[in-house]
Amino acid sequence: MERANVRPSTPGAPAHGDSGSFAGASSPPQAALRVFGVSLWGVALLLAVGTLVVLVSLPRLRALTVRTGELDARSTLRLLAERLELPEPGTTLGQALSAVPGLRRPLQDARLFSGGRILAHHGYCFELLNDEVGPVLVAWPQDWGQTGFAAFALRPDGLLGHPNAEGHWNGVRGLQVDLAPEAWQPLSRR
């Protein structure tokens, strides 16, 4: 009997009967570099998509924050107007608030500044002023551009809004608010 010329199989060698040979061929290609099972191109693509999502979402989130701050300021003005008794001229907002214990809960995170004249609450400042029409509650952004843009005034005849486009009313330092009617737009009637 004639013996077949069979070589033992070695890893990476062609199987018996294969005509291919590794002689003179280059080594097998290296596996692509991977991070968490994803190729570098995949990682770069994911980073690019993530960056795009952040760049598109941040301005929308900021606009939502500003809009929410402005709506909250308007509702806080209405809350204050409903619960505060009409104070005497020269009464600070802090003095008026201390006379109404039921306001502590809805304004629990509010702080008073400037000797009780200014109340800071949810990114807006509030002050009680006296006008020819009577007491006026005004509100403006605590951090203009971040917590809101518009200023508001709640007078006995309704809610007024001012675009405050240049940020003149900004912060807790206390301001001289010009209540001249030509600068304010009616938002609602009482």
pLDDT at 127 over 70: yes
pLDDT at 125 over 90: yes
Per-residue pLDDT tens digits for 11-51: 554 555 555 544 555 544 555 566 677 788 888 888 888 88
DSSP string, 47-74: HHHHHHHHHHHHHHHHHHHHHHHHHHHH
pLDDT at 71 over 80: yes
User: Mean pLDDT over residues 158-165, rounded?
Assistant: 88
CB 140 within 8 A of CB 123: no
Residues near 102 by beta carbon (within 8 Å), at least 6 away in sequence? 83
Q: Which residue do the tokens 């009967």 mark?
A: 17
Spell 79-105 as b/e; 16+ CB within 10 A means b.
ebbeebeeeeeebbbbbbbeeeeebee
Q: Which residue do the tokens 């924050």 mark?
A: 65
Domain layout of the chain by residue ranges: 67-188
User: Mean pLDDT over residues 163-182, rounded?
Assistant: 76
Confidence tier at 107 by pLDDT (50, 70, 90): confident
Q: How many angstroms separate the CA atoms of 190 and 182, rounded? A: 19
